[in-house]
Amino acid sequence: MGLGVVLHSPAGIISEASEIAAGTGCNNEAELHSLCLALELARAAGANRLILRGDSDVAVRYVTGAGTTAVLRLLPLIARARAAMARFDETQLLWVPRHHNPDADRLSRQALGLAAGIAPKPVRRRRR
């Protein structure tokens, strides 16, 4: 899973992170891992207040409590994101359309060695 995070400070400093998450998982897991990474990096940079913008409707709904899931693999990531958000004085988590978040997408693809804007080909599995 490729993770991509862009941080903008009030002073205009932009920091980027691109890394691979341990293990494998679905796109929703990758989005939640990216959110957790953003929170960790912002905390390490000394932030106290955050406005988080993510293009994963699922991650935003589940972490804010506007939605729920029965997918067991997502529950620890949701709890981790909520706990990390609680360590800040104030946080807002907002959904933005993917086309308004191209840098994070570029960075997540970069982590996987993929060209920006080109979707990977689906894996075809043989039926038995």
Whole domain around residue 59: which residue ranges? 2-111
Chain segment 23-80, per-residue pLDDT in tens? 888 999 999 999 999 999 999 999 999 999 999 999 999 999 999 999 999 999 999 9
126 burial type by CB count under 10 A (0-12 exposed, 13-18 middle, 19+ buried):
exposed
Chain segment 91-117, per-residue pLDDT in tens? 999 999 988 989 998 999 999 999 766
Tokens 């935003």 sit on residue: 60
92 within some domain: yes
Number of domains forming the structure of the chain: 1
86 within some domain: yes
125 within some domain: no
64 within some domain: yes
Partner residues linked to 92 by β-bridges: 51
Query: Are the beta carbons of 46 and 86 closer than 8 angstroms?
Result: no
Partner residues linked to 90 by β-bridges: 49
CATH number at residue 44: 3.30.420.10
